[in-house]
Structure formats: structure tokens, C-alpha cells
Amino acid sequence: MTRTDRLYALVEELRAVSPRPRSARWLAERFEVSSRTIERDISALQQGGVPIWAEPGRTGGYCLDAARTLAPLGFTVDEALAVMIALGTLATSPFRDSATSALRKVLAVMEDRSLQQTAELATRIHLLSDDRSNEAPPSVAYALRTGHVLRLSYIDRDGEATMRDVEPMGFVGKGNDWYLIAWCRLRDGLRAFRGDRMVQAEILGERAPRRPLRAEDLGIVEGRLRAVGLGDDPT
């Protein structure tokens, strides 16, 4: 059994008995390896985002939260490659950390042969970007999800630095650039803030009321808005 196979099997063994624990010794005997190897494998899974924790005591061991894990994924190679590419395009977005974590979780529950084929094909796919830094602060994604007001230190197109309190409403991605769509209290209106122009984004304790966001309110002059997901309505 390869290590990849064993990692996959470990997750499935812990899922099958969840929420009961399995000791490192029991798992070592089950997979015919040392307890130290099991401990290293569990650590690798935990670092990859698999929700495994240790219960202390004589009857303790490792437990897995089955409600927070993916069942074995029957992706085809093309489907897995598409997921990998899609998550890779988020490298400059406010969702980059979550995308990396999501990819680890997907790879952790893929069948070994499909995973190897996908990894080989992925070496043939590249994304072209320019040299400038265009990453948006990850905190803006959290602010949108929770409804918290952001205090932005922002450099506008004329190079002027301003401090603005904004109410996050959504995001628009164009190429490698991501724009936070927010209600700007300084300008008392809807504004778009480019990620690489945000010097700092501080999450304030205040939660703003949810404002409706319609495509026509954005005033897009060039291009067409395309919604993320199965629908076509960007609201």
C-alpha cells in the first residue's frame, strides 16, 4: 500500500467509526506500519485540513468529524483537472487561502490513480500573469461573509491615499485583478476598490445592514458580468 493509499484509507477508517476513536496502536496494526508512521500520517492529514483530533485517555485515540469531511470523490480526470485549474485562478483573489485549503481536501479524498493522472496533466497547464503584485487582502472576503465594515487604507488611480470605511457588498474579478464592490461612506455611494491598491484592510466591530447589489448598479462599460455558480444573475 502506498502512502497516498494509506492516507485515503485512514480517513475512511475514521469516518466509518465516527464519532468513536481509533488508537494509533490499533491503526498501526490495521495498516501494518509503526505507530510513529500513523502519527505522521495523521499530522499530514490535519495539516491538509482534515478535521481529525485526538481524544486523551486509555480509551482515547483519533476521531474524525464526518459531518465536515467529503465522501470519496468519483471525479473523472477531466473533472479533477478542471477543479484544480479553477481553484488555481483564485491565487490573487481574496479567496486564495480558502482555495488552497479546498484543493488539499479534494486531493485527500481522490482515488490514487486519478490523482496521479491529474497531477501529471496539471504540469502541462500554466496561467499567465503580469509581474506586478495584485493580491487583495484575505480579510475582505471574511468581511463580506460576516457583514463587517472595513476600514480601508486605499490608493486611488491618481495615487492619492485615503482612509475609508466601507460596507462590503460583493466582488468582481477581471483577469488577475479583483475588485471589492462596497458602499463607501466617505463618498456616500457605491464604489469598486481594486485589491492591489488596498494598503491595509482593517475589520471593524460594526456590522452593516445588507444592501442589495444589482448588475445595473455597477455601471459596467466594457465586458459582460458572468455570475459564479449555476445561475446567470450576479445578484
Report the pLDDT value the prediction gives residue 47, as an integer from 0 to 100.
85
pLDDT digits (tens, 9 = 90+) for 101-138: 778 777 766 777 777 888 889 889 888 877 666 677 87
CA dist., res. 12 & res. 30, Å (int): 13
Going along the chain from its start, the domains and CATH numbers come out as: 3-68 (1.10.10.10), 77-122 (no CATH), 139-214 (2.30.30)
- Residue type (1 letter), 2: T
Report the pLDDT value the prediction gives residue 93, as an integer from 0 to 100.
85
Which of 19-33, 162-176, 212-226 is least confident? 212-226
Report the pLDDT value the prediction gives residue 73, as an integer from 0 to 100.
59
pLDDT digits (tens, 9 = 90+) for 4-56: 778 878 888 888 788 889 999 999 999 999 999 999 999 988 888 888 988 88
Contact 140, 180 (CB under 8 A): yes
Non-local (6+) Cβ contacts of 78 within 8 A are none
CA dist., res. 112 & res. 162, Å (int): 51
Task: List the beta bridge partners of residue 55.
Answer: 61
